[in-house]
Structure 1
């Protein structure tokens, strides 16, 4: 799924030294299911290693983003994409023969998506964005940091007025903070990569 990536010696060493990132990402973000093709741990781990190599190949030290944070995001987004693709294949290929064993039939039905599937996907995206913003907030100060905090609060459902009341300022000032934060985030490699990989669009 992730495709082949050619690494030079230093990039290969970087990937080899951080193989634990793949296991960590699987533990934190991915649900392994040994009963479904493509969702076994070994398959997911192999795909994660491919994305770790992609992270090593695209990593730019001059941006001063820790490789751990950058690679974890690349691997997590890559594995989510892999799981969505595999899920789509399972869904399209799912059929239940009339003479199927009842236990097998029950297993297939249990794997069928619930009506709230897309809502759950949206919720996971929001939770992932909140974690990312919380991590990135440490890199900024002043207005940009206040703006990121305001975005975090908006993800939690607070309105601009409610956020303004928390800080004892006018709502238009909160809007200015958010605007400043977005300017900074558009230049942040990790955040832009998350937007492009997870949502398929640039930060706006």
Structure 2
């Protein structure tokens, strides 16, 4: 939300319609208390900020209460969604589900021989761009890392890492020396 100061008529509008925040929270949000991070006080504060924003942006040609309720509801939904997403990231490691990597990496799942590891490292040095990142990701995957962990190293989405691994796997499947070692 932007920082701004309300004019006296806007402040009065907020004061007169403060009851809309409680109504919106009760009517539209049913998760507080049951979902981590979603508490009544936070919801109420978010609703109040949305009401202030609605008063600041309000066009007097239209009725205020319907506009304010929609603004409050949207802000509450955004807050709940972002809170749930944040708490998904903070779940205990024991409860963290392993994301399913759909990349076909059949022969490269485990690097067993040092000769294979050396060839992969050489191919990584010889390649550029996403193929190079993909080979690195495949090697990390063979060490037990998943695409979520690897994506944090690069600061990209796990889907990007999986796409890199797919391109690298395609590139490596065409490598005759590596295929001879794996045969």
TM-score normalized by the length of structure 1: 0.43
Question: Which is higher, the Rg of structure 1 or of structure 2?
Answer: 2
TM-score normalized by the length of structure 2: 0.48
